[in-house]
């Protein structure tokens, strides 16, 4: 069973992540930001991973540090679980509608990080998270997991666009980390 864990403690946050790739989509999440908890639950459910995420931070300053450091810790835990990439499919994609919103995510768990993010948010999402921090979360996660992701969301409701992105990322991740043809999925022989 592939699993990963990572803890990050700074002067601004204290974050720990544990995950099991071959899980049942069960999540225990507490970040102090209810909407962010909801998004992480959606990612866990749709990836099929079991997630335990505990984060505390300087929320009196704002949600930025907690969201960013959670992305960093989740990225490290994923990289730990993926290991050398032997046996994974490597590439994954998903198209997820949510009412008027549509999210498209394609990922490569090939060890190199890059993010293309095409979506915009007009307001604080549910009054809790500035829209720009959604992109920053995925940037932090991908950078530390060694994932390339192309993500797009369109729609009129910020909540729906954001949630569709988290669900699509989870489904794409499940696809990419599923059983491949065996061995390292690269013509180079290494990821």
Task: State pLDDT tens for residues 48-96.
Answer: 999 999 999 999 999 999 999 999 999 999 999 999 999 999 999 999 9
pLDDT given at position 123? 83
Please state, for a pLDDT cut of 70, what percent of the chain lies above it.
Answer: 100
Please give the DSSP secondary-structure letter assigned to residue 88: B
Cβ neighbors of 62 (< 8 A, separation 6 or more) are none
Dist. CA 119–CA 157, nearest whole Å: 12
pTM above 0.85, yes or no: yes
Q: Report the distance separating Cα 88 and Cα 68, nearest Å.
A: 27
pLDDT confidence of residue 34: 97
When pLDDT is cut at 50, 70 and 90, the band that residue 185 belongs to is confident
Q: Looking at residues 2-7, what average pLDDT do you find?
A: 97
Going by pLDDT thresholds of 50, 70 and 90, the confidence category of residue 127 is very high
- Return d(Cα 84, Cα 40) in angstroms, integer: 25
* 3-class SS shares of the chain: helix, strand, coil, % to 5: 35, 30, 35
Point out the least confidently predicted range of 34-43, 154-163, 182-191.
182-191
CA distances (Å), origin 38, targets 33, 45, 159, 187: 9, 11, 11, 39
Per domain, the residue ranges of the chain are: 3-177
List pLDDT tens digits, range 128-149: 999 999 999 999 999 999 999 9
Instruction: Convert the pLDDT of each residue in 56-68 to its tens digit.
Output: 999 999 999 999 9
CATH of domain 3-177: 3.30.230.40
d(CA 66, CA 60): 11
């Amino acid at each position: 069973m592939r699993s990963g864990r990572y803890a990050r403690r700074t002067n601004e946050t204290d974050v720990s992540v544990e995950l099991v790739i071959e899980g049942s989509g069960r999540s225990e999440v507490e970040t102090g930001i209810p909407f962010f908890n909801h998004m992480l639950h959606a990612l866990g459910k749709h990836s099929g991973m079991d997630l335990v995420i505990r984060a505390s931070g300087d929320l009196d300053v704002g949600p930025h540090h907690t969201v960013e450091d959670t992305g960093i810790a989740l990225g490290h835990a994923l990289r730990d679980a993926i290991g050398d990439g032997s046996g994974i499919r490597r590439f994954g994609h998903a198209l997820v509608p949510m009412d008027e919103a549509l999210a498209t995510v394609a990922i490569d768990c090939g060890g190199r990080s890059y993010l293309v993010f095409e979506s915009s948010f007009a307001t604080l999402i549910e009054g809790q998270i500035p829209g720009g921090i959604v992109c920053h979360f995925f940037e932090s996660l991908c950078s530390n997991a060694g994932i390339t992701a192309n993500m797009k969301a369109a729609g009129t409701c910020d909540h729906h666009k954001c949630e569709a992105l988290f669900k699509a990322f989870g489904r794409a991740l499940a696809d990419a980390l599923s059983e491949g043809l065996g061995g390292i999925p690269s013509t180079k022989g290494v990821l």
